[in-house]
Structure 1
Amino acid sequence: MKTNKLWWLMSVMIPLTLIISACATPTTEAPKKFVFGLIMVGPKEDHGWNEAHWVAAQDVLKNVPNTDLVWIDKVNPADRPGVTIEQVSDDLVAKGAKVIFTNSAEFKDGTNNAAKKHTAVTFIHISGDAVLDKSAPANVGNFMGRMEYGKMIAGCAAALTTQTGSIAYLGPLIDAETRRLTNSVYLGAKYCWENARGKKDTPLKFEVTWIGFWFNIPGVTLDPTQVVNGFFDKGADVVLSGIDTTEALVVAGQRAKAGKKVWAIPYDYIGGCKEAEAVCLGVPYFNWTPAYQPLKYQDGKEFVKAGATADDKTVWYTEQLLEGVTGKSK
């Protein structure tokens, strides 16, 4: 991107309790590989939510010795009608998975049911809340990045950029997660509009439209391309995306090539700007790698032991720099 252009790039680094590492066997034989599974709601190369998980899984294979991955993507009613999380989990367990990550809020019931059947397998439901609402079996954990802060910064970037005073949000389905993230975008935008730009007396227009799912399903959801075009037609000049795919950025790029002054902010994936960098203000993205592999201190000691939680006190009193950082800890 040009250096005189406003851009924001945020990484949501996530401390985690889950450790994927195989214990060495006491025999002289080579240890068996530790197999972990990944169940994704969308395509693994969507330049969004699912690709961020796929990249994390590849990082595990690269950095954690003696691991192997079994996986399936596009587990949704459009791509795989009738296929359930329980069925997919059966298959991954049969292939040796000892830990299975499921990566969509819609997988809650299926993950819990699969965990009840496969009690020796640990299930990590990304973005789920079964642990919070006490419905999770003992072998189910939940995990989610604190994206609210990244979304606030994205909203601020939009407010600092807009020339029309109108920004829009391309929403997926409506649930607790999407409401709080949309609210975060709005609060960040409102703050920077009123305080950084000094426009307290000029209302900022902020519109959200929900397409009905995390990505386009023809005949089921609204078409995100049409929704984004509608935003721009009504006067918005910055569109922020809350869906898994890149339609907001693609449409903004097309309009910019036609001479329009418009911008977009994608979501989820570090490489989200690549399809139209000239109009991309940055991307609030997830780095899931710490969620899929262990974090260690420089001396090899685990940052958080298996089964423990990286609470605020643990993070506050960090003992050393992490493995991979060059420099003194004390």
Structure 2
Amino acid sequence: MQKNLFDRVRRGGQLLAIAFLFSSLAACGGNVPTTPDPTADVPEPDQNTETVSPSDQDEFKVGMVIVGPKNDAGWNQSHVEASEYVMENLPGVAFDYVDKVNPGDRPNVQGSQVADDLIANGAQMVIFNSDDFKDDALFTAQKHPDVAVIHVSGDYAWPEGKNYQEQANLSNVMLQMYYGRLIAGCAAALETKTGKIGYLGPLINDETRRLSSAAFLGAQHCWQNYRDRDAAELEFKVTWIGFWFNIPGVTLDPTKVADDFYNGGYDVVMTGIDTPEAAVQGKKAAEAGKDVKFLHYTLRSGCSLAPEICIGVPFYNWGPTYQAQIEAAKAGEFESAFVWSAPDWQDINNADTSAVGFARGEALSEENGEILDQFIQGLGDDTINLYTGALNFQDGTTYLAEDEIATPQQIWYMTQLLEGMDGASE
């Protein structure tokens, strides 16, 4: 069963995770990335880094390169909160942050340049918190072989992945976020009255196709099995803005995209971007008399943005996963690994044991909450496996044949959206 593929021994009692190292599959070597430009401007450390540390001068310092604002009420804030979790649990650990490392806020700054600066300031580990930093992470690991490097997402450390690079001081860390998306999609389908669900998407890649497709699978399953409705009656539309958050003049404006959903009859809007436009515009739509609801993303407290219309939040606990990696590095035992941390199905909202959770909002009815519990239980005991064929891609080609169960690689490398979804695959 699929569940067995994702079991891994806890490390130090702190983490339920998996490292996909399947000896039966041949590793595929990737191309070495283009060397980042060493002439790019780098932010001065006293202007653009923030240090949070204990008073102990012998602390273990971790540098974090953050793609967006660290207080964005979404993805980036969740990583900062994870660092706070680590510092609460591991005395003597300090964090340096540089946020807004992206083409809009810092057009001449590359992640590897920021990492150089953090390392010069004493960082013994560097965490890159976005898929966008894939090549920066590898380049940094190659340039600084004595520094532990973590890339959130990516597959350079996965021997059975498509782009494996043998680099002893580089690990990829990810959470099995698609489970949160399956749950969120189910909740959306239970609560929609129009049968129209909008998905506010960032840029298009394997990760975002994986997560939006998971939301669709959860929605379709619960629409058909718990609401007894025909699949053709469910509309699931993805609109991509072009990046993880708004860059004026470069991306679509997520405020307008959210408004278009709410004004176009989509009474439930899910968000996959880092910032809270789905919540903010949903609140405005509700105040204008529209019967609308939303699901936030990644940050456990996300419903607080508009509690009355929030169905829930699929949220992600990076803290225990980070802690395990930092403990290993502090002990001189850091090893390259591909870690895909799992939910704790006995208690998915346990911040110490579960990488994936779901915070319920006021707009999720008690009845639908009970149905959602059944769905979550089915995911946990593997009586519900939505990655079982037959499933087709958007263009009608086969994703999974009849009764075929997806491998981790088939889930990770989602090359198209799925049949039944409305939205671009490329």
So what's the TM-score if we normalise by structure 2?
0.63
1:290/1:17 Cα in 2 relative to 1: closer, same or farther (>3 Å)?
A: farther
Offset, 1:17: 8.9
Superposition pairs for residues 291-306 of structure 1, below 5 Å?
Answer: 291-294=321-324
Q: Distance in 2 between matches of 1:148 and 1:256?
A: 29
Identity of aligned residues (%): 47
Contact kept? 1:238, 1:262, Cα under 8 Å: yes
Name 1:71's counterpart in structure 2.
Answer: 97
| 2:263 counterpart of 1:262 | no
Name 2:139's counterpart in structure 1.
Answer: 113
Name 2:106's counterpart in structure 1.
Answer: 80
Q: Distance in 2 between matches of 1:220 and 1:14?
A: 39
SS in 2 for 1:168: strand
Q: Distance in 2 between matches of 1:153 and 1:279?
A: 18
1:155 maps to amino acid: G
Superposition pairs for residues 206-285 of structure 1, below 5 Å?
Answer: 206-285=236-315
1:205-248 Cα distance to aligned partner (Å, 9 max, x none): 11100000000000000000100111122211000000011100
1:82-103 Cα distance to aligned partner (Å, 9 max, x none): 1011210111101111111101
Offset, 1:131: 1.6
| 2:16 counterpart of 1:15 | yes
1:51 maps to amino acid: Q
Offset, 1:14: 5.8
SS in 2 for 1:123: strand
Structure 1: runs of 5 or more not aligned = 1-12, 19-29, 296-304, 317-321, 326-330
Contact kept? 2:58, 2:92, Cα under 8 Å: yes
Name 2:164's counterpart in structure 1.
Answer: 134
Contact kept? 1:16, 1:310, Cα under 8 Å: no
SS in 2 for 1:56: helix
| 2:204 counterpart of 1:174 | yes
Farther-moved stretch of structure 1 (238-247 vs 134-143): 134-143
How many matched pairs? 286
SS in 2 for 1:290: helix
Q: Distance in 1 between matches of 2:206 and 2:232?
A: 30
SS in 1 for 2:275: coil
Name 1:51's counterpart in structure 2.
Answer: 77
Contact kept? 1:100, 1:122, Cα under 8 Å: yes
Offset, 1:123: 0.4
| 2:65 counterpart of 1:39 | yes
Q: Distance in 2 between matches of 1:43 and 1:14?
A: 27
2:227 maps to amino acid: R
1:86 maps to amino acid: S
Name 1:287's counterpart in structure 2.
Answer: 317
Contact kept? 2:174, 2:339, Cα under 8 Å: no
Q: Distance in 1 between matches of 2:94 and 2:250?
A: 36
1:128/1:289 Cα in 2 relative to 1: closer, same or farther (>3 Å)?
A: same
So what's the TM-score if we normalise by structure 1?
0.81
Superposition pairs for residues 87-102 of structure 1, below 5 Å?
Answer: 87-102=113-128
Q: Distance in 1 between matches of 2:64 and 2:96?
A: 7
Structure 2: runs of 5 or more not aligned = 1-13, 20-55, 326-332, 345-349, 354-426
1:135-179 Cα distance to aligned partner (Å, 9 max, x none): 352211001100111101101111111111111100000000000
